[in-house]
Amino acid sequence: MLAIVGTVPDSKFPLTMGKVVLQGRSIWLGGRAVPVNRGTPALLAAACSVLEFLGHSGPFGYLVGDLGLGQGSRRLYWHLAENLGSTQFHTIAFHYLQPDVDWHNRVLFAVEDLPRKPLLIADAGFMYAAKMSGQAPSYDLFTPDVGELAFLADEAAPHPFYTRGFILHEDNRVPELASRAYLHDNAATYLLVKGARDHLIDRRGVLAVVEEPSCEAMEAIGGTGDTLTGIVAALCATGMDLAKAAALAAWVNRLAGCLSDPTPATQIAEIIEQIPSALAKAFQSPEFQEGYLNGVRS
Amino acid sequence: MFGFFRSKRPKPPSGRDGTDRGILVFEHTSEVIRAEKALKRDGWAIRVMGPPPEVRSGCDLVIEFPLMEKLNIVRTLKQEGLTPLDAVPVSGPLLKPVEIFQVKDLGRYLMVRAANMKLTVDKETSVIVNVSGGGCPDVPYLAAQLVGRHLAEAPSPNELGHTLCGYALHLAYEEMKRRCLP
């Protein structure tokens, strides 16, 4: 089963956990509806859409309200540190949480004490904390954008806001930035770098580049990185090989984006609605049928 | 270079070894943002920077200030209802915020990126149409407050945000206003 951990932009939203269901443009968890917008709700909605399409049970969500002061995140960190030891998730995706190295470490230690370590994916604030903790190699997948990759590449930066000027975040420097991130052990086993061209990378170098279909407007749309993380997390949780899941997810996310005929004013819910069509198109494609996807052989 | 590095008053002389500089440490980024606003309004030569590694308390931003003016500055902050957790001398180099804005013209739309945050505006209507990037929990909240609002009427991210992502979005917002508003 897939677990997804994150926050919602509502200070009154209590620490809530349970199975998540997508209905229209809302996700439901513990009897509460959360509008699907950017952030963890977008990740959850994308994962729900993929899992439903593939006939799997929906994800298990851990959500709490946090507007950036960190109180909600710390309640969630505490709960995870105390309770993850009794869970049996196949995959856990950590997302929008207030970056906190100490709490991150407590959660990671709880995960590492499990008899079978789940596949670990980190994005957004939790990925920042994972890098700063020095524990990045404990993760199976990070999903940074190019700016966040520059932060991973800068061994001194505690947050993307402080990435040093000589480390320029430009699309054409992705392989170089990833090498530097691996050199300082600041990257997960795999990096799926989101951008005008999506790159799947490991310590050896670039494994695959996904650049079609291409819609320039996608970069401006808040939540497109969240949906990519949600899609790859869901595919992994079905048992798909991580590298293949990452390449397929990048392709499906792009397809869904382009199917929504986006402009820079498009909202992420419109793209999430296209995920089933994008999955159908991808699964019917000759590349997928032949087991060869964007440079990654299954 | 950011406008917030400039000051209305003449700067006190700056020692090369940094012994004339101190840092104000606050619990939350939102307090740093309020303090920056108040001190700049009064003309103090201050800069928002990253904390040195030895500072273990507080948030991820500090205010660098002329140490000799500590009492006056703390008094100004008190009048604003702000009390720093600490005010200590600087003993080493501070982290500098990113200084590069990236601007992309998307036809009818303009996108400005500051650090990891991107803000997109419809050039014809000056309405904010999207906010993307970032990883701190105030980003979805800030996006909900900004998207759909006219650039001149939208709340300033530095009044609602609490994190470095919120601060980066504020920089993008200020740069967008500079480019799009008369």
Beta-strand pair A141-142/A119-122: parallel
| Domain B101-180, classified CATH 1.10.760, yes or no | no
pLDDT at A48: 98
Q: How far apart are CA A293 and CA B165, in angstroms?
A: 35
Q: Identify the burial level of A268 via C-beta atoms within 10 angstroms of its C-beta, where 0-12 means exposed, 13-18 middle and 19 or more buried.
A: buried
Interface test with A, best of B31, B61, B121, B139 (most A CBs within 10 A): B139
Q: Is the dihedral of CA A181, A187, A190, A196 positive or negative?
A: negative
Quickly count: other Cβ atoms within 10 Å of residue A297's Cβ. 10
CATH number for the domain that contains residue A278: 3.40.1190
Q: Where are the domains of chain B?
A: 3-89, 101-180
Specify the pLDDT at position B15: 40
Q: Roughly what angle, to the nearest 10 degrees, separates helices A124-132 and A101-112?
A: 90
Residues of A whose CB is below 8 A from B99:
165
Q: Which domain holds residue A237?
A: 2-142+209-297
> Mutate which of A7, A104, A162, A253 to disrupt the B interface (most B C-beta within 10 Å)?
A162
Cα separation, A79 vs A62, whole angstroms? 9
Chains A, B: CB contacts under 8 A, how many?
Answer: 155
Judge whether A196 lies within some domain. Answer: no
Residues of B in contact with A142 (CB under 8 A): none
Chain B: closest CA distance from residue A68 (Å): 4
CB contacts, 8 Å: B113 with chain A: 147
In a domain, A80, yes or no: yes
Distance from CA of B6 to the nearest CA of A (A): 20
Q: How many distinct structural domains can be found in chain A?
A: 1
Question: Number of H helices and number of E strands within chain B?
Answer: 5, 8
The whole-number average pLDDT for the span B115-131 is 95
Least confident of A217-226, B14-23, B79-88, B95-104: B14-23
Q: What is the ipTM of this complex?
A: 0.90
- Residues from chain B that touch A40, judged by Cβ atoms under 8 A, are 140
pTM of the model as a whole? 0.86
Q: So what's the pLDDT on residue B155?
A: 94
Domain-embedded: residue A195: no
The reply to whether residue B135 touches residue A124, judged by beta carbons under 8 angstroms, is yes
A19: in domain: yes
A180, part of any domain: no
Residue B114: strand pairing partners = B101, B117
Cross-chain residue pair A161–B96, CB shorter than 8 Å: no
Amino acid at A57: S
For chain B, say whether A159 makes contact (Cβ under 8 Å): yes
Fold of B3-89: Alpha-Beta Plaits (3.30.70)
Per the domain annotation, does A204 fall within a domain?
A: no
Nearest CA in chain B to A73: B137
Question: How many angstroms away from the CA of B32 is the closest CA of chain A?
Answer: 13
Contacts of A38 in chain B (CB under 8 A): 131-132, 139-140, 143
Residues of B in contact with A8 (CB under 8 A): 140
* Residue-level pLDDT, tens digit, chain A, 298 residues: 999 999 999 999 999 999 999 999 999 999 999 999 889 999 999 999 999 999 999 999 999 999 988 899 999 999 999 999 999 999 999 999 998 889 999 999 999 999 999 999 999 999 999 999 999 999 999 999 988 999 999 998 888 888 876 666 677 789 999 999 999 999 999 999 999 999 999 999 999 999 999 999 999 999 999 999 999 999 999 999 999 999 999 999 999 999 999 999 999 999 999 999 999 999 999 888 887 777 776 5
Spatial CA neighbour of A62 closest among A38, A86, A84: A84
Residue A169 domain flag: no
